[in-house]
Structure 1
Amino acid sequence: MLKYIVVTGGVLSSVGKGTVSASLGLLLKNRGYKVSVVKVDPYINVDAGTMNPYMHGEVFVTDDGAETDLDLGHYERFLDINTGKHNNITAGRVYFEVIRKEREGKFMGQTVQIIPHVTDEIKSMIRRAGNIDGAQIIIVEVGGTVGDIESLPFLEAMRQLKLEEEEHNVLFVHVALVEYLSVTGELKTKPLQHSVQELRRIGIQPDIIVARSIVPLDNETRKKIAMFTNVRPEYIFSSYDVETSYEVPVILEHQGIAAKILERLKLQDRNPELTDWMSFVKAIKSKDGKRVRIALVGKYTKLKDSYLSIKEAIYHAAAHLGVVPELMWIESTDLEKDENLIKELGESQGIVVLPGFGSRGAEGKIKAINFSRLNKIPYLGICFGLQLAIVEFSRNVIGLKEANSTEVNPDTPYPVVTLLDDQKKVTQFGGTMRLGAQRILIKKGTLAYKLYNAETVFERHRHRYEVNPSYVDELERNGMVVSGVSDNGLVEIIELRDHPFFVATQAHPEFKSRPLRPAPLFLGFLKAVSGLQ
């Protein structure tokens, strides 16, 4: 029988619900349970695909082409699973489905309301996700903060779920901030108390509290929280600041959270297998390895979560190799006008040109690519980083000085990157790009083949533009190697032979990188950066 763990958040957003949810999933999975995770997002957008990264961080893409919340990346990395469209439920999806059913006459004669129609749809989607994944335990992370008007229908649905399921089948975990006043050295619990009061007013009594704070909870603070929240002290846990989020499962395991959850759910506790995870955490925290500076050039670098999966993929590869990456975030728009930033590129051992749509910052990225190519600095281009590498090569090697992508300049006389054929008639933007896992055919004898050690791989995609097939022969005649193509011949991976490491891909290999299984292209890049090739 399916068991439910509902994770809510209090006091403020970004309190760490996603990391806690992923950590619980890891601890339960490593005890032998089949675990699924669902992220509920209260925003009206149908998915995250049309959001600016500054609004919501990166858009995480699944194998089946869903454009989702970045928390699904946490789930995939911690649990080493592949999620799908059913693992991200937004208010937009829920209302869209309820309205569709109403138009089809499914509610004939009824007044369609939040209760029961919207809340029933929420519960149905969650149950369906658990069934699709064949889960024994499903973790439901409710986005937003308790008290937000947008979250109310979802919290009400979770309250109803508790009533409808058999006893011991639904457990509530509340994650909330405990503020630390450095001046007095005090932990202040009042905001957490109020968030629990708000949750109880809605009709939900948390079974477990995870207090998020800078420092670990002391026993007195734990007792105080217990008194004002009606949660016994042994069910209150501390998620304090650690060096890496991958350490959170370890500190929660040491406090015994998984055992308490299984006790409440009337499930057998088992010894977890965490040896490999602990070794990874030790490796990623180590400062003993060779230090390497990596420049990451993008247009949303002021919010690092815009490129969260790429950052994590670098850390995965670095931990595997025993090196210590130092990341230099360079805003591509600043690179266009500040020549001193070019000097900073020269201080790096590797350059990554990050994804991003539109013309803003494109010329800055092209400058970085040109610098990498001429100065033989290892280069990795992701998605737009491939397209602009084509532009740079066309301009400065082939001699097509006005070459460009039609996304950046629709009137370029040399459209070396152009709109995909099946995108030319697209009129709606949500969910209409080339999305999800696509087959890539790797050419033998290339660096890409050496890195993947396979002739066929699947990587996730998210783009509307492609390398113009009309220019491929000319690119290859001038020394560029097309080392990976799609089933229909689209350029997927390029490289340069007369370079220590110059590889770019149309795909997003970062989405499939795992702590214990680094993405091959990132692993190859880090080897080149650290001189381990």
Structure 2
Amino acid sequence: MKHSKKYIFITGGVTSSLGKGLAAASIGCLLERRGIKINMLKMDPYINVDPGTMSPTQHGEVFVTDDGAETDLDLGHYERFTSLTLTKNNNFTTGKVYLQVIENEREGKYLGKTVQVVPHITDEIKRRIHMAAENCDLLIGEIGGTVGDIESLPFMESIRQFALDVGTENVLFVHLVLIPYVAAAGELKSKPAQHSVKEMRSIGLFPQIIMCRADREIDNSIIDKISLFCNVPKQNVFKSIDMDLIYKAPKSFQEQGLDKRITELLGMWTTEPKMDEINKVIYNSENPLKEVNIGIVGKYTELIESYKSLDEALRHAAITNQVKLNRIYIDAEDLEKGIKTDLLETVDGILVPGGFGSRGTEGKIKAIQYAREKKKPFFGICLGLQLSVIEFARNVVGIKDATSMEFTDKGDFVVHYMAGQTKDGAKGGSMRLGAYDCEFTKGSLGEKIYGSTKISERHRHRLEVNNEYINKLTDKGLVVSGRNPALNLVEVIELKDHPHFIACQYHPEFKSRPFNPHPLFASFVKASGKL
């Protein structure tokens, strides 16, 4: 039987954090715009079952899907660049694979056989690849980490076997390599890339397309070298150069003919990609009408990857409003110490994003109080909503020791653990995760922003506003405009006599896309720029 489904596997060499996720997302973007029904898969070689328990400063943010999976941040890129709404089946780790194989062994499913990496681990990886490819014509699978890592070997072996299983003519191996610039020599070097491809070939994988990542333009002599020494035709070697806007990547690859070459190699006949939306995003970002300064008050301020989706959602809002957005990262701990408070005066809007733990919370509360009292546009997300409620309870209602159960074991808990949640117990995958409904009060700012009274948004939290305090808060002017109808949980709060003060318990950044910016971010940037 002829196997008509097609597969692209993207690997990386020389170093991690090369941009495999963006390359995969860009390829997905172009092929989808050619009319191909695609799906995306991220395979992570680390042994954590999911990234939910990993530090965001080490691994970047945790992206949450509608069905409540805590996944790798690359799934955020996949959703932003394509029309896909991803699920738990679009990301798996070594931890998930081994967990499943060990459970199978305990249940006696291997009929007494010795359980080994080959075939049992590799079979489980292949099973998950097939599962991700069920409802598409083309699956784009990315393997995390770097070729040569001990961790990634079972995945490399699995895709080698997989190509034989489904027919090598249906599988395309794309390898992304670094072309480093050596300052002392004043030139780019191709040798690390050559070694990376040699490593691939030694384990039986022969990349048909090589993408060269560099921080500057790559001379054709480098492309010639890569082609010659890696045994890949010159028209299959592409450049992936640093750009000031990631949404320019698909256009750059399309201009080089990457998507056309992929369809030729896989024997897929398609139309030309529809590039209008991409061109508009690029035009708006390059032709801003004014500048807007947004102050982001957080504690992971040293690493942008911690707030990747948030950062992109702000960018989408800036693009749609045609403004140049300057992100001013304000360390909440500085505000606690009373330093750098002047930054709050210089920004046009204040954003307090999600986070965990008590460190920096008093600084965030100071920023919220400033935004409320000085009538500065404010937007709070998750912890940002909880701290807004605490600030209002303390400074307006007069509940001086208003606090959250997350920070202390004494005080007035205006924020407490949800039913079924505690500070103790297993951490992985145990929060309130995924999509939940929210209903707005008619005439509220929330309804006006969304243009609807019923919405669904993604959550990732353990704590919520304590309903016992709601009457005291609303009597003094706090507006609870959005609630979850099933559990009567506070989802959105607002202030009436304020140009723009809104906070939500969910994470709207996960659903924002460059071609369809999230309304909460778009309205916040608009209000901050007085547009």
Name the TM tier (shorter chain): over 0.9
For the residue of structure 1 that corresponds to 2:403, the secondary structure is strand
Check whether the contact 2:35–2:270 (CA below 8 A) recurs between aligned residues: no
For the residue of structure 1 that corresponds to 2:328, the secondary structure is strand
For the residue of structure 2 that corresponds to 1:482, the secondary structure is strand
Question: 1:331 offset after TM fit, Å?
Answer: 1.6
Question: 1:55 offset after TM fit, Å?
Answer: 1.4
For the residue of structure 1 that corresponds to 2:341, the secondary structure is helix
Check whether the contact 1:3–1:137 (CA below 8 A) recurs between aligned residues: yes
Output the amino acid matched with 2:521.
F
Check whether the contact 1:435–1:460 (CA below 8 A) recurs between aligned residues: yes
Q: Distance in 2 between matches of 1:13 and 1:424?
A: 36
Cα deviation code 1:213-267 (max 9, x no counterpart)? 0123222111101111111111000000111111111111000011111111111
Q: Distance in 1 between matches of 2:321 and 2:85?
A: 25
Cα deviation code 1:459-485 (max 9, x no counterpart)? 000000000000011110000000000
Question: 1:276 offset after TM fit, Å?
Answer: 1.2
Output the amino acid matched with 1:470.
E
Q: How does 1:507-522 map to 2 (within 5 A)?
A: 507-522=506-521
| Structure 2 partner of 1:252 | 253
For the residue of structure 1 that corresponds to 2:25, the secondary structure is helix
Question: 1:299 offset after TM fit, Å?
Answer: 1.2
| Structure 1 partner of 2:73 | 70
Q: Distance in 2 between matches of 1:327 and 1:469?
A: 35
| Structure 1 partner of 2:51 | 48
Q: How does 1:339-488 map to 2 (within 5 A)?
A: 339-412=338-411, 414-424=412-422, 427-487=425-485, 488=487
| Structure 2 partner of 1:59 | 62
Question: 1:182 offset after TM fit, Å?
Answer: 4.1
Q: Does 1:32 align with 2:30?
A: no
Q: Does 1:293 align with 2:296?
A: no
Question: 1:384 offset after TM fit, Å?
Answer: 0.1
Q: Distance in 2 between matches of 1:60 and 1:74?
A: 10
Alignment root-mean-square deviation, CA: 1.1
Q: Distance in 2 between matches of 1:401 and 1:304?
A: 34
Check whether the contact 1:418–1:465 (CA below 8 A) recurs between aligned residues: yes
Output the amino acid matched with 1:38.
L
For the residue of structure 1 that corresponds to 2:142, the secondary structure is strand
Cα deviation code 1:164-183 (max 9, x no counterpart)? 11231110000010012345
Output the amino acid matched with 1:369.
I
| Structure 2 partner of 1:501 | 500
Q: Distance in 1 between matches of 2:219 and 2:252?
A: 15
Q: Distance in 1 between matches of 2:331 and 2:194?
A: 41
1:115 to 109, 115, 118: 118
Output the amino acid matched with 2:481.
S
1:102 to 105, 108, 117: 105
Check whether the contact 1:244–1:285 (CA below 8 A) recurs between aligned residues: no
Check whether the contact 1:243–1:285 (CA below 8 A) recurs between aligned residues: no
- Please say which of residues 2-11 and 160-169 is displaced more in the overlay: 160-169
CA 1:407/1:426 → structure 2, altered by over 3 Å: closer, same or farther?
closer
Cα deviation code 1:70-117 (max 9, x no counterpart)? 000000000021101000010111001111111111102200000000
Check whether the contact 2:176–2:213 (CA below 8 A) recurs between aligned residues: yes
| Structure 2 partner of 1:177 | 178
Output the amino acid matched with 1:380.
F
- Paired-residue identity, %: 50
Number of residue pairs matched by the alignment = 527
Output the amino acid matched with 1:41.
D
Q: Distance in 1 between matches of 2:201 and 2:334?
A: 49
For the residue of structure 2 that corresponds to 1:372, the secondary structure is helix
Q: Distance in 2 between matches of 1:33 and 1:152?
A: 30
Question: 1:197 offset after TM fit, Å?
Answer: 0.8
For the residue of structure 1 that corresponds to 2:193, the secondary structure is helix
Output the amino acid matched with 1:5.
I
| Structure 2 partner of 1:202 | 203
For the residue of structure 1 that corresponds to 2:442, the secondary structure is coil
Check whether the contact 2:435–2:457 (CA below 8 A) recurs between aligned residues: yes
Check whether the contact 2:436–2:459 (CA below 8 A) recurs between aligned residues: yes
| Structure 1 partner of 2:320 | 320
Question: 1:425 offset after TM fit, Å?
Answer: 9.4
Check whether the contact 1:120–1:157 (CA below 8 A) recurs between aligned residues: yes
Question: 1:427 offset after TM fit, Å?
Answer: 2.3
- Please say which of residues 162-171 and 394-403 is displaced more in the overlay: 162-171
Check whether the contact 2:406–2:423 (CA below 8 A) recurs between aligned residues: no
Q: Distance in 2 between matches of 1:138 and 1:400?
A: 55
Output the amino acid matched with 1:474.
K
Output the amino acid matched with 1:365.
K
Output the amino acid matched with 2:101.
V
Q: Distance in 2 between matches of 1:425 and 1:38?
A: 33
Q: Distance in 2 between matches of 1:278 and 1:332?
A: 38
Cα deviation code 1:438-459 (max 9, x no counterpart)? 0001111100010011111000
Question: 1:208 offset after TM fit, Å?
Answer: 0.2
| Structure 2 partner of 1:261 | 262
Question: 1:285 offset after TM fit, Å?
Answer: 3.0
For the residue of structure 2 that corresponds to 1:209, the secondary structure is strand
For the residue of structure 1 that corresponds to 2:420, the secondary structure is helix
Output the amino acid matched with 1:310.
L
Q: Does 1:19 align with 2:16?
A: no
Check whether the contact 1:426–1:432 (CA below 8 A) recurs between aligned residues: no
| Structure 1 partner of 2:12 | 9
Question: 1:426 offset after TM fit, Å?
Answer: 7.0
Question: 1:2 offset after TM fit, Å?
Answer: 1.6
Check whether the contact 1:355–1:383 (CA below 8 A) recurs between aligned residues: yes
Cα deviation code 1:154-197 (max 9, x no counterpart)? 01101111111123111000001001234544110011111111
For the residue of structure 2 that corresponds to 1:175, the secondary structure is strand
> Which consecutive residues of structure 1, in runs of 5 or more, have no partner in the other structure?
none
Q: Distance in 2 between matches of 1:379 and 1:373?
A: 8
Output the amino acid matched with 1:171.
L
Check whether the contact 2:7–2:170 (CA below 8 A) recurs between aligned residues: yes
Output the amino acid matched with 1:302.
E
Question: 1:146 offset after TM fit, Å?
Answer: 0.5
Output the amino acid matched with 1:344.
L
Q: TM-score if structure 1 supplies the norm length? A: 0.97
For the residue of structure 1 that corresponds to 2:51, the secondary structure is coil
Q: Distance in 1 between matches of 2:133 and 2:444?
A: 42
Q: Distance in 2 between matches of 1:285 and 1:115?
A: 51
Question: 1:345 offset after TM fit, Å?
Answer: 0.9
Runs of 4+ in 1 over 6 A off after TM superposition: none
Check whether the contact 2:36–2:270 (CA below 8 A) recurs between aligned residues: no
Output the amino acid matched with 1:9.
G
Q: Distance in 2 between matches of 1:236 and 1:294?
A: 40
